[in-house]
Amino acid sequence: MSQLLTMESVEQDGSVIWTVRGEIDLASAPEFERSVVAGGDGAARSVVVDLDRVAYLDSAGLASLVRLHLQLGQRGRHLKVVVADGTVARSTITLAALDQVIAVFESLDGALVA
């Protein structure tokens, strides 16, 4: 049974922080991407996406992260991804070598000070 995607955002220390839960897959990736882009239009210099509670991340989710990285970069903003070692999302990101392209942090505090 798939877990519904839920997202919450807050602004803190000049960043928009998205806490994501559930699955980012072919069905939910467009909603994920639209929400993050729409929430990244304010004065914040960075957008932090916390994927620690994501149970599943497929290639559609990875593609969304790449597009977000590019779109936010064009607007002068930085995408930072928070995902701890040992999580499903971290394994997927590492296998795809996306951590070589996008700033990935193990903790929210680490992402906010970087």
Query: Among residues of the chain, what percentage have pLDDT more than 70?
Result: 96
- The mean pLDDT value for 18-22 works out to 97
Above 60 in pLDDT, residue 1?
no
| Cα–Cα distance, 5 to 54 (Å, whole number) | 8
Extents of the domains making up the chain = 6-113
CATH code assigned to 6-113: 3.30.750.24
> Tell me, what's the pLDDT at 41?
67
Above 70 in pLDDT, residue 10?
yes
> Tell me, what's the pLDDT at 28?
96
pLDDT tens-place string over residues 27-45: 999 999 999 988 766 778 8
DSSP strand E in the chain: where?
A: 6-12, 15-24, 46-57, 78-82, 103-105
Above 60 in pLDDT, residue 2?
no
pLDDT tens-place string over residues 69-100: 999 999 999 999 999 999 999 999 999 999 99
**What are the angstrom distances between the C-alpha of 32 and each of 9, 50, 87?**
12, 12, 19
- The mean pLDDT value for 44-63 works out to 96
